[in-house]
Amino acid sequence: MNKIIEFKSLIYKPYFYFLLFLVLTGINPFLISGDNPYTTNLSRRLEPPSAEYLFGTDDLGRCVFSRVMHGARISIGASLSILLLSLLFGGSLGILSGYFGGWVDEFVMRITDIFMTVPTIVIALVLARSLGPGIKNVIIILSITMWTGYARMIRGLALDIKNRHYVETAKTIGLKNSYIMLRHILPAILPPILVMATLGMGRNIIMISSLSFLGLGIIEPAPDWGAMLNHGTSYIRTAPHMALFPGVFISLTVLSFNLLGDELGSAGNGRQFFMNTRNPGNPKGIR
């Protein structure tokens, strides 16, 4: 296959291993932490980190380490779902409006403008108040607010590609518009979308945590990092580890996703990820 995805440079990046670790724990948190994140033990409340409890225990005697590990599943899972939903919705609207132009473009972009005039967090707060907390609602709320950026950006990318000669040639072959969009435009704009999505993952984690911190997102006893941070602030003087570890994990995860996005973006706009970078230059001397 010529389509070699060159991830070689990532082997030397520590954040790549951190993300890999989070994804694996997200898939099965019990691999790493043996303790049940919901089991309370009131006799061992607010214990500092020790060999038994790596990250200490919280006010109900629950293992903070296992709660943080289980939180990876919620944070990464929820932000991935938000990403996919908003990318699917915003992306398809963006590609349609970029490709067809005219009134379709006007219509979609004006709706996007309306959404963009109100700050994301305000819409999210209002919706969260009316829908109530819970992981499903968080995903719905943030998907509704996050799609506009993707729609804008993908429209711009599609506008660029649709005027390329090869798209015109595809039309002269008699290919359908839907086929041209999927087969000729989408692969060409996929690398920047990939970068955008990686950066979006970090943003989504922060948004989920912010909502949880405000008590409108994922609530106790579910082990979400934002909710744990919120809960830990009450004990910040007696047991700082309760807020510290979820906070560190939020920061590290967001940082890792941003670094990954930068790495993908700096690699020649990501085009190499879909093509063999080295030009073999007619190896067999065919004419």
Partner 1 sequence: MKKLLSVKKLKVVYDSSAGKVHALRGISFNVKKGEIFGIAGESGAGKTTICRLLMGFMEKNAGISGQVDFNGDDLLKLNYKDLYRLYGRKIGFLPQSIASLNPLLTIGTHITETLKKNLKIKKKKILKKKAIYILDALEFSDSRQVYNSFPYQLSGGMNQRALLAIAFCCFPDLVIADEPFTGLDPDVQNRLLETVRILKDKKNISMVIVTHDLKVIEKICDKTAIIYNGSFVETGETKDVIKTPLHPYTQSLIKAMPENGMIPTWGFAPGALYDDAGCSFQPRCPTGSKEKKKHIINSPASVGNNHYVWCLNVKNQESVKDLL
Based on CB atoms, which residue is closest to partner 1, 132 or 268? Answer: 268
Q: Which alpha helices (H) appear in the chain, and where do they start and end?
A: 14-27, 64-100, 102-117, 120-131, 135-162, 165-173, 177-180, 186-213, 225-232, 241-266
Task: Output the smallest distance, CB 174 to partner 1, in A.
Answer: 4
How far apart (Å, rounded) are the C-alpha atoms in residues 280 and 278? 6
Structure tokens at 176: 């359908």
Planar angle of CA 12, 188, 100, nearest 5 degrees: 145
Based on CB atoms, which residue is closest to partner 1, 130 or 279? Answer: 279
Tell me if residue 62 falls in helix, strand or coil.
Answer: coil
Could you say which of 13, 125, 171, 215 contacts partner 1 (CB under 8 A)? 171
Site mask for partner 1 (CB under 8 A), range 177-196, x = bound: --x---xx--xx--------
Task: Output the smallest distance, CB 87 to partner 1, in A.
Answer: 20
Task: Output the smallest distance, CB 213 to partner 1, in A.
Answer: 43
- Does 175 contact partner 1 by CB under 8 A? yes
Task: Output the smallest distance, CB 148 to partner 1, in A.
Answer: 28
Could you say which of 5, 166, 221, 266 contacts partner 1 (CB under 8 A)? 166
* Cβ burial, residue 19 (10 Å; 0-12/13-18/19+): buried
Residues near partner 1, by CB under 8 A? 2, 164-166, 168-176, 179, 183-184, 187-188, 274-275, 279-282, 284, 286-287
